[in-house]
Chains A and B, each alone.
Chain A
Amino acid sequence: MDGISLLTITVLAVFVGFEVVSKVSSTLHTPLMSGANAIHGIILVGAIIVAGQATHPWVLAVALLAVVLATANLVGGFVVTDRMLEMFRGRRGAAERPPEKPSAQGGAHEGESPERKGSVR
């Protein structure tokens, strides 16, 4: 993609980023920060690409370290955010619904699913 298109996308993303959080109450600051924190764990995609193209063992080692760190950011970020929000939900009549299965489900999938797909190859 050429530079100008990337620049356009970047500038538009800045405004979207400003817009989506501009009116949030302080109650949700922590979960929102934590959720945004999880989203930048998507650097995992970059780490996977670099690791997948590594030819030298040293490069591979460093790239795999990046994969481990990025996965921790991504998976841990979503799981911890979900745990925070689970508690918010609890106050709205826990009696109404039966307790759901452990919250971490959503996040834990992240790491596992590519694995399953991978083994098909």
Chain B
Amino acid sequence: MTLLDPTLTSLLYLAAAVFFILALKGLNSPRTARRGNLVGAFGALLAVVTVFFSVRLDNVPWILGAIAVGSGVAAPVARRVRMTQMPQLVALFNGVGGGAAALVALLELPHADDGWMRLAVVFTLLVGAVSFAGSAITFAKLQELMTTRPVVFPGLPVLMGAVLLAAVGSGAAVVLGGSLALALLLLVLGLLAGVLLVLPVGGADVPIVISLLNAFTGLAVAASGLVLGNVLLVVAGTLVGASGTILTRAMAAAMGRSVAGILFGAFRGNSTAGSTAVSDRPVRSSSAEDVAVLLGYAQRVIIVPGYGLAVAQGQHTAAELALALEARGIRVDFAIHPVAGRMPGHMNVLLAEANVPYESLKEMSEINSEFRTADVALVVGANDVVNPAAKTSAGSPIYGMPILEVADARQVVFLKRSLRPGFAGIENELMYEPQTTLLFGDAKESLTKVLGAVKAL
């Protein structure tokens, strides 16, 4: 088979890079987002087809088999995953990308014949491994395979320092001598560093870490492009690395956190504060019928959906309840905290799935001043995002995070499974306030009961 002319190959890669830029641009606006994603997918397809025709490749049947296996596993999983579990899936895909970059760099080491090249190999190995292992831990945290609370132990900063020092040492040796054994050691150290980096991060901050690791993988891919002398990998990886960094900062800002604070807060010991003990103070709990009366005779209701709603798959019932209340002439809005759900924008995705009209979804900045005019704030399966501790208790792990001011509403109704603290592992004072009513139970079941009672009013 004749191979493509190198100039044509370069032009095709350039086209793919342009498609990637257009994809990111398209993802900026709800109207063009879906098309943007397809443009990106097309760019990727173009690049993958191009590589088969531009380089002399052996083992093609094997490669095609591996591609079939990879897509055969990933596509059905991505298609069927419940939207509530999407954050961990994104983490997983990010991790395997980092792992792939590290493996590519490892295999290219013997062919890297100058120091700069080996430096790129070392960078890819280390960052790719950190991204892989870090993503695996975030996956475990989000899937609740392990505790979502920060994991810290006394020697952690020292251990992390030792691992990084050893990584720098072996990395330098690889750059100078190109030893494969030391490269393998570097890979192991990278994995270890990834684990240690993410362990101390509290559950609520995990989404930001996913975004950060996403940027890491981008950088690893860019460096692997330098190793292979492939401009497309350099451009695509750098694009993701740069946009991922901005995105990480934007997400952290939405939560009132700094990226450094998230990563190193636990090291300083100030993100583990906050009590975990469930207090036995009295709360006012009530029945679905009472809640229905509260809602049914209000003029303005603001629903605050949280992760509990998503877990219970209650978004459709919540949408129905909103319709039923609107039918009674009540104004209903959904107040969306930027990090409602487990990722910024996650809740918008879930409610859009339930056909809640876009106009009813209010962002935090828009709705916060309106709680004052609301008769009832109905908090469904949310906790941390309405926890006043974020404003009042300086020692709290969520201190400084902007919250929805539900306490300003005349009545606050919590639909909760139990008094158990939220994802961040701290108690919510609001639940003990006099204007607060609690209805215990699974979010969807409670909503169904309340919906029935509202219809019967």
Interface residues of A (CB under 8 A from B): 1, 3, 6, 9-10, 13-18, 20-55, 59-60, 62-92, 94, 102-104, 106-115, 117-119, 121
Contacts and interface: CB of A to CB of B under 8 A. Distances in A.
A29 B338 CA distance: 9
Given A20-B25, A108-B75, 14 more contacts: A13-B234, A21-B243, A30-B343, A37-B93, A37-B94, A38-B93, A40-B240, A42-B233, A46-B221, A46-B233, A60-B62, A62-B106, A84-B83, A111-B71
Interface residues of B, number: 119
B41 interface: yes
A50 B229 CA distance: 12
A1 B65 CA distance: 32
Contact of A46 (B1, B228, B350): B228
Contacts of B21: 16, 20
A114 B1 CA distance: 15
Contacts of A55: 58
Given A27-B30, A87-B353, A76 B93 contact: yes
Nearest to A38: B40
A59 B52 CA distance: 19
Contacts of B233: 42-43, 45-46
A24 B250 contact: yes
Nearest to B218: A40
Contacts of B61: 118
B166 interface: no
A75 B247 contact: no
A1 B45 CA distance: 24
A115 B72 CA distance: 13
A60 to B, nearest CB: 6
B188 interface: no
B74 A36 contact: no
Nearest to A68: B70
A26 B344 CA distance: 6
Contact of B100 (A39, A70, A102): A70
B71 A13 contact: no
Contact of A71 (B66, B230, B352, B358): B66
A35 B25 contact: no
Contact of A102 (B30, B79, B101, B239): B79
B231 A9 contact: yes
Contacts of B230: 45-46, 49
A13 B37 contact: no
Contacts of B20: 39, 42
A91 B356 contact: yes
A1 B231 CA distance: 9
Contacts of A33: 90, 210-211, 214, 244, 247, 343
Which of B16, B104, B350, B355 neighbours the largest number of chain A CB atoms within 10 Å of its CB? B104
Nearest to A45: B51
A56 B41 CA distance: 32
B75 A111 contact: yes
B134 interface: no
Contact of A45 (B41, B47, B62, B211): B47
B304 interface: no
A47 B227 CA distance: 12
B376 interface: no
Interface string B220-251: 01101110111111111111111111110011
A13 B345 contact: no
Contact of B66 (A10, A23, A29, A64): A64
B154 to A, nearest CB: 34
Contacts of A43: 97, 100-101, 104, 221, 224, 233, 237
B349 A88 contact: yes
B64 interface: yes
Interface string B257-273: 00000000000000000
The 9 closest A-B pairs by CB, nearest first: A17-B242, A71-B70, A111-B71, A52-B57, A76-B74, A73-B97, A29-B344, A13-B238, A79-B78
Contact of A75 (B24, B74, B237): B74
B28 interface: yes
B330 interface: no
A69 B211 contact: no
A102 B78 CA distance: 12
B290 to A, nearest CB: 32
B135 to A, nearest CB: 10
Contacts of B246: 17-18, 21-22
Contact of B71 (A17, A53, A75): A75
A45 B247 contact: no
B214 A37 contact: yes
A77 B355 CA distance: 24
